[in-house]
Structure 1
Amino acid sequence: MARRRTRGLTLVEVLITVTVIAVISGSVILGMGAVTSARLKRSAALVAGAVRVAYAHANAQSKPVRLVFDFEERVIALEESTSALAIERNDRTGGAAAATDAERAAVEEAESILKGPRAPRPSFQPAKAYGFNPEEGRAGKELSSGVRFLQVETAHQDDPVAEGRAYLYFWPGGQTERAAIQLSLGAGGTEDSVMTVLVSPLTGKTELRRGKVSMPRPRDDAEASEREDTGF
């Protein structure tokens, strides 16, 4: 009986196979990168759109309005108040009534230091506007899958907020705060996986930047007054 010969792979065939696998793997990785990058851009556009809605809503309703950035839930919500709001610097809520236990504790601690009567803090309630409908039972607009708030800088706080809730305020007549909202894809927070939404005062204009961009701080009292839009 004739012995059947078994033919092995040649070196050329092995190299071709490895090259094909590498090309396919590279295409998959590039495709995944494009998808994740699109999610980050979509979330940044969501934040920028929410800023425009809040800016317009404050003018249309003649009420103070704020955007709520919920780090744990990864959502951005729109709220309004029927009372006037005077911003308090370095206050956990910016001068508004506390909405969480952590905020209540911080407000009580801050007010225990001050003496004399104080005006009631204005409370904020969910607002109904374009794209925001609290009647549907949703807290707000959720960021894309895998995207989270990295940190939020606003003019009424010296230090960025990186946990809990952060607030960006708007007033009737066309005015808001300077702000920088950083979004991160995943937990790494590397430069190539972060986008920043910059908000300019007065006009509420937004600008999307790649990487971690800090909020421009006013250089003098004239800029700090925010009566003039100093841009970026």
Structure 2
Amino acid sequence: MRAPFPARSRRAERGLTLIEISIALGIAAVLFAAVVMGVGALTGAKAKVSATELAGVIRSLYDTAALTGKTCRLVFELPPAKSEEPVRYRAECAESGVTTSRDREAALKDENKARDDEKRLGKNERRNFSQSGSGGAPNLQDLIEQEQSRVEQAARFSEYTGEEVAPRELADGVSLSVWTRQQKTAVESGVAYLYFFPQGYTEKAQVYVRQGDNVWTLAISPLTGKVNIVAEELEVPRT
């Protein structure tokens, strides 16, 4: 008369075991996803991908400058260390071959100051300031300024829109710094440039891509444009 009870108990135990297995599998899947994301962060996976993409852009822009006879450059916009803004970079080319300043650190300091001043001044205020001069026929100073403007226009850089060097934005948690031969230290915030010249050479440079404690160094050869990616932070060469 007591035979049915053990069978019912076994069915209940079997059903409870399946539920526990389902829950356990769900928990395991969540933990596995967390481990994969954690390992990616620990190994600097995002930084490695960013470094590889940047190496391809550098090579493409090197070829572009050599084929078009124009001076081109990569423009890096580097946010402050504690900023949540991402690192951005884009390509620009001038209308012809132009030279660069030998004192890059001073030039970057002046340009960063000019960029800050430009943000503080509204477009209308700048326009009113530029048009506040006296009317009538142009004087000698006006002619000098016009000639200077013409020369600056010829050397002005404009955005290069080639698909292979489209503007990019680095992933969250990835930072970047840039050193070139004209600098004593790497630029970590503000604007930084890497130039490519129509004669078929670029600047001796090192670009550091960081994610946490992981650093990838892009060492750029000036004569060939070849980029060597090293999974460590190389020292800045002594110039």
TM-score normalised by length of structure 2: 0.61
Aligned to 1:172: 198
1:59-80: CA deviations, max 9, x gaps? 1211000011111241121000
Aligned to 1:141: 168
CA distance in 2, matches of 1:80, 1:99: 20
Aligned to 2:3: none
Aligned to 1:203: 224
CA distance in 1, matches of 2:183, 2:71: 18
Aligned to 1:51: 58
1:37-186 map, 5 Å:
37-72=44-79, 73-92=86-105, 98=111, 101-102=114-115, 120=151, 122-133=155-166, 140-149=167-176, 151-186=177-212
Aligned partners of 2:51 and 2:229 also within 8 Å: yes
**Greater relative contact order (Cα < 8 A, sep 6+):** 2
Aligned partners of 2:70 and 2:198 also within 8 Å: yes
The alpha-carbon deviation at position 213 of structure 1 amounts to 1.3
- In structure 2, the residue corresponding to 1:131 is in which secondary structure? helix
The alpha-carbon deviation at position 144 of structure 1 amounts to 2.3
TM-aligned CA distance change 1:200 to 1:145, over 3 Å: same
TM-aligned CA distance change 1:69 to 1:184, over 3 Å: same
In structure 2, the gaps of 5 or more residues are 1-23, 80-85, 119-147
Give the number of aligned pairs: 172
Aligned partners of 2:195 and 2:202 also within 8 Å: yes
CA distance in 2, matches of 1:168, 1:176: 8
In structure 1, the gaps of 5 or more residues are 1-19, 106-118, 134-139, 219-232
Aligned partners of 1:87 and 1:156 also within 8 Å: no
One-letter amino acid of the structure 2 residue matched with residue 127 of structure 1? Y
CA distance in 2, matches of 1:54, 1:93: 25
Aligned to 1:214: 235
CA distance in 2, matches of 1:94, 1:43: 27
1:2-53: CA deviations, max 9, x gaps? xxxxxxxxxxxxxxxxxx9xxx698566422443322111000011011011
Aligned partners of 2:69 and 2:96 also within 8 Å: no
CA distance in 2, matches of 1:103, 1:68: 16
The alpha-carbon deviation at position 162 of structure 1 amounts to 1.1
CA distance in 1, matches of 2:100, 2:191: 17
- For the aligned residues, what is the CA RMSD? 3.2
1:138-194: CA deviations, max 9, x gaps? xx1111232121x210112222211111100001121001111111115xxx3xx21
**Which structure features the higher share of helix residues?**
2
CA distance in 2, matches of 1:93, 1:67: 18
CA distance in 2, matches of 1:169, 1:32: 36
Aligned to 1:32: 37
Identity among equivalent positions (%) equals: 29
Aligned partners of 2:220 and 2:228 also within 8 Å: yes
Larger Rg: 2
Aligned partners of 1:53 and 1:130 also within 8 Å: no
